[in-house]
Amino acid sequence: MAELGKKYCVYCLAEVSSLRFRCTECADIELCPDCFSAGAEIGPHRRWHGYQLVDGGRFTLWGAEAEGGWSSREEQLLLDAIEQFGFGNWEDMAAHVGASRTPQEVMEHYVSMYIHGNLGKACIPDSIPNRVTDHTCPSGGPLSPSLTTPLPPLDISVAEQQQLGYMPLRDDYEIEYDQDAETLISGLSVNYDDDDVEIELKRAHVDMYVRKLKERQRRKNIARDYNLVPAFLGKDKKDKEKAPKRKITKEEKELRLKLRPLYQFMSCKEFEDFFENMHKERVLRAKIRELQRYRRNGITKMEESAEYEAARHKREKRKENKNIANSKRGKEDGKDGEFAAIENLPGFELLSDREKVLCSSLNLSPARYVTVKTIIIKDHLQKRQGIPSKSRLPSYLDKVLKKRILNFLTESGWISRDAS
């Protein structure tokens, strides 16, 4: 009775109980997989006739040595699930295949057989042709495609987060760059009756929105790279005090301010390296000039340079001391010669230094100058009080002397300019 339940190929008489191909146009024509693939024909059956796969679901596609013993029925359910649920939804795919398979088994079997196996190697090329490669900048640079990579949240307190309007879990701000960028896609919807022009227009809107998102993220990266947020909160000053660096000259500070627009094209490390290299260049140029000076003075060894510098320093120090002594001696001699004509006259000790210079230049005795000064100031006070007065200046005072003295008293603040 067991022999009666078996099925045999009508061409080679091999047993085909597990898997056979039945012709849908001829009666009682069932072939084994080998005869069907060879195109066997018998009686009225022809190779182009329609066929039906009669399968008990027990044979394996990958042979008995394949891992897990997946049957053809499970393989078919797996391919249906990958088409229905998509790659990566392993839980739904495992439920579709059957309760006997876990999501981990489904993932490992599909990856090993259909991607890394012979089927995947035959269908997936090693190098995808016509792939667009970004040559603008290496990954992580200011212009690279990795601009949309999320950054870790800022390490700031809750009060500072509220001050900035910062949401750390989303790494967003309440007011972002180009705040109305979302209006480009907020009203978009995909309809089945859209023509090609409408579809392209909607794609253009999405592309514009993506560009705005990239620009927004690029600005965040610049602010994060150059520590602009801690600088705004005043934290960068403490960090600068902790990390001692070389002293920045005034010229370098001005150059940094002029080159600030380059921040958007250079990372912070590149920018600092740029100025560090400029500093090294200046140091090297100064060293080269120093070595050239040694060579002009006949020094060919570094051991001789120390002795030369010590002698040069002593020589310059002696010259400086000599100049200071000469200048002091010249000032004393100049003062004695300048006031020699009037220093022994009465009233000399009542004059200030400027008045002494004035009397010496006008060749006017101190007593006469004091007299003229008293008369002019007295007349000025009477005029301010509204008292009519007629000034009587000494006869030895001509117009030139009078004008010089009036100008001096005006500049010194003794009388106002109206009175002069």
* DSSP code per residue over 232-282: HHT-HHHHHHHS--PPPPHHHHHHHHHTGGGGGTS-HHHHHHHHHHHHHHH
Does one domain contain both 77 and 112? yes
Residue 385 CB-half CA count within 13 A: 9
Mean per-residue pLDDT, 190-195:
82
pLDDT of 1 reads 34
Contact assessment for residue 43 and residue 55, using Cβ atoms and an 8 Å cutoff? no
Does a structural domain hold residue 138?
A: no
Residues 352 and 407 in one domain: yes
Q: Give the helix/strand (H/E) hosting 311.
A: helix 302-338
Nearest to 218 by CA among 142, 134, 137: 142
Q: How many CB atoms lie within 10 A of CB 209?
A: 18
- Asked whether residue 142 carries a pLDDT value surpassing 50, the answer given is no
Question: Distance between CA atoms of 100 and 98, rounded to whole angstroms?
Answer: 5
- Other CB atoms within a 10 A radius of the CB of residue 276 amount to 12
Answer yes or no: is 226 within a domain. Answer: no
Q: Is 146 part of any domain?
A: no
Region label for 63, one of left (φ > 0), alpha (ψ between -120 and 50) or beta (otherwise)? left
**Structural domain contains residue 356:** yes
Q: 3-class SS at 386?
A: coil
Kindly report the CATH number assigned to the domain that includes residue 47.
3.30.60
Instruction: Quote the crossing angle between the two packed helices 353-362 and 399-412, to the nearest 10°.
Output: 170
Res. 284 pLDDT band, cuts 50 70 90 = very high
pTM of the model: 0.35
pLDDT (tens digit per residue) in 28-61: 888 888 898 888 888 888 888 988 877 755 666 6
Examine the domain organization and report whether 50 and 77 are in the same domain.
Answer: no
Q: Which residues constitute the domain of residue 90?
A: 72-123
Domain boundary among 157, 192, 220: 220
d(CA 72, CA 86): 20
Residue-wise pLDDT tens digits, 296-310:
888 888 888 888 888
Encoding tokens for residue 210?
């993506």
For the chain, what is the mean pLDDT?
79
Residue 228 lies in a domain: no
Residue 301: per-residue pLDDT? 85
pLDDT of residue 420: 53
Q: What is the CATH number of the domain that holds 381?
A: 1.10.10
For residue 166, give the H/E element and its range: strand 166-167
Are residues 108 and 78 part of one domain? yes
How many Å apart are CA 292 and CA 335, to the nearest integer?
Answer: 46
Together in a domain, 51 and 78? no
Is residue 3 pLDDT above 70, yes or no?
Answer: no
Q: Which amino acid is at 33?
A: P
Backbone angles phi, psi at 54, to 5 degrees: -105, 110
| Cβ-contact 372, 394 below 8 angstroms | yes
Q: What is the CATH number for 100?
A: 1.10.10.60
Q: How far apart are CA 351 and CA 367, in angstroms?
A: 10
Q: What mean pLDDT comes out for the span 359-387? A: 81
Same domain, 398 and 356: yes
Own/partner long-range contacts of 20-23 (Cβ < 8 Å, ≥24 apart): 20/54, 21/51, 21/52, 21/53, 21/54, 22/51, 22/52, 22/53, 22/54, 23/49, 23/50, 23/51, 23/52
* pLDDT over 90 (residue 70): no
The mean pLDDT of 244-251, rounded to a whole number, is 75
Q: How many domains does the chain have?
A: 5
